[in-house]
Structure formats: C-alpha cells, structure tokens
Amino acid sequence: MVKSELPEKTASAQSSWIPIAKSALDHPHMTDGFAHVYEMTANRNTGQVASVALDRMGGIEWDTTVLDIAAGAGALSVPAALRGAAVLAIDHAPGMVNLLKRRLAPFPSSDATLMDGQQLALEDDSFDATFSLFGASIFPDWRRGLMEQARVTRRGGKACVATWRRPPGGGPFMVMAQALRLVFPEMRPPAPPEGFLLLSEPDRLAKEMAHAHLSAIDVEEIETVWEGPAGHAYLDELRDLHSYMGVYAQLDSDQRRRVDAAILEVIDGLASGNTVILRATAVLAVGTKR
C-alpha cells in the first residue's frame, strides 16, 4: 500500500467519520440526501440495537407513548409504531425529519418534528418510554441530553440509551477508519465526542443515567452485525456514504483513489465469498424514572 501525506487542514480537522451532531443547517448531514443514504447503509446496524431496545423496555404496545430522540432514519420509530405505540420522533436534521414523516405517515398517532435533544420543547413526565440510541452520546452537552430525556419520561416510565462500545462505531465506519490508517499512518484520528468516549463504558453510562434521576438501571453489551457485498460491489454500495464522512470528503481525487484501494484491501481480508460481515459492540442501558 502506497503511503501518502494528509494535507494539514485535513489532519487537523475536527470533522470525522462519525456523524457528529451540529446545528448549522447547511451541514451536509442535515440534507435529504444524507438521510436517504444513512437509511440505506446504517439502519441495518442500528436497527438491530433498536429491536433489542424495544424488547428490553417491554410494554411497547397499543397507546404507549414513545419519544425517539435523535431518531435518525427511523430504525426504532417505525418498529415502535408497528407495535401500536404513539411515537414522536425528533431529530435536529431537517433531512431526517422529512424522511421520518414519510415513514411514519401510515401511523395516525405518530409524527416527526425538528427538535434539539438537548433542549426538548416538551412537557415534564409526558412519555411512557423514551429512547436515545446513538444520540445523546454525540450531543455537545450530553449530560443535558440525558437530563432532558429523563425529565420528559413519566414517573415509573422507562428510558433507554445506547452508544457504541468503541470508536468509530459500527459497520462501514470501522472500515473507513482502518483504511485511513493504512494510507495515512501518521494521521491522528479526530477525537470522538466526549459523550461517546465516556458513555461507552457500561459503569459510567449507568452512573450518568442515575445522575439524571433514573433508577434500576440495567446495562448490557450487544453484538451487531453489518452485512454487505464484498469487493468492488462494496465500494459501489458505500460510495455515497463515504462522501459524507468528514475526513474522506476533504481528500483530493488521488487521495480518495488510494483510500478506496485500502478499503478494498480491508474488505478482502474480511470477506467470505461475495459477502462481508462487520461486527461491532453496542452498549444498551434501560432505567426507570424515579
């Protein structure tokens, strides 16, 4: 593998291959395009965690009120609505909200709206169950996000939080990180959000949820599996997602070709036949509002 130097502005950039929460509405992660790409590539990973989260919470059924914070592409919202719950899905990205509104349109008691998970414009004690899957952990003020989630959970209701066990997350994000290290061995990866690092520790996650006035907290680690095509078909399928990954997006065309070659090298080492399986661990916690 031919090594290349990374431009100084790219090496020092704080944007990463982890989609970090931002408020600027012109950021690429705010768009309809990103929402579509994320649904097609990431929901197969996050959806597995969402399925376990719904089961662990229990009682998600007809007329249960559910809040899905940083709902993304609906990996939890839609299955919850299918169980009969009245779901409010919120996200700070207009593109995600537009997608969520379409996905929740068949469910009259469910809706999606634009809202900051760190400052919920919602009444206290208003939801039976609240979820923040891979949301609060990347908020700039993640402690406030946890406090807000607990605030709007009714007393005796449950709150669920999930994050990845290790940076940079699951699925294609792991492959991109490894490929970038191969091509730019001197590059220092952008620092993950503080909440990502701290809440990835099960004991710390439980402690912070208790600080947010939740009790009887159960924490577990869940293995997720991302399955996709091997070889050049992997690049074809993930090309659009790669264009939204901060470090990769800043590369010139020659550097991208080198990283693409490194991605193929990584995938070839993991492939079984025409398929590649990418395994990652998520941390899932459920607590009860005191």
Average pLDDT value for residue range 45-55: 97
Residue-wise pLDDT for 122-145, tens only, equals 999 999 999 999 999 999 999 999
Residue 24: per-residue pLDDT: 55
Peptide bond into 168 cis (omega under 30): yes
Give the integer Cα–Cα distance in Å for 87 and 80: 7
Residue 1: per-residue pLDDT: 39
Assign 189 a pLDDT band (cuts: 50, 70, 90). confident
Residue-wise pLDDT for 215-260, tens only, equals 999 999 999 999 999 999 999 999 999 999 989 999 999 999 999 9
Residue 188: per-residue pLDDT: 83
Give the integer Cα–Cα distance in Å for 86 and 49: 20
Asked whether the beta carbons of 82 and 59 are under 8 A apart, the reply is no
Average pLDDT value for residue range 15-27: 51
Residue 11: per-residue pLDDT: 39
Instruction: Output the CA angle 114-119-123, nearest 5 degrees.
Output: 90
Q: What is the pTM of this model?
A: 0.90
Q: Where are the alpha helices (DSSP H) in 186-252?
A: 194-199, 202-211, 232-242, 246-249
CA atoms within 13 A on the CB side of 225: 5
Asked if the model's pLDDT at residue 173 lies above 60, the reply is yes
Residue 25: per-residue pLDDT: 61
Asked whether the beta carbons of 68 and 131 are under 8 A apart, the reply is yes
Residues 6+ positions from 271 with CB-CB distance below 8 Å: 230, 231
Strand ranges, E, within the chain? 65-68, 86-91, 111-114, 127-133, 153-164, 214-229, 271-272, 275-289
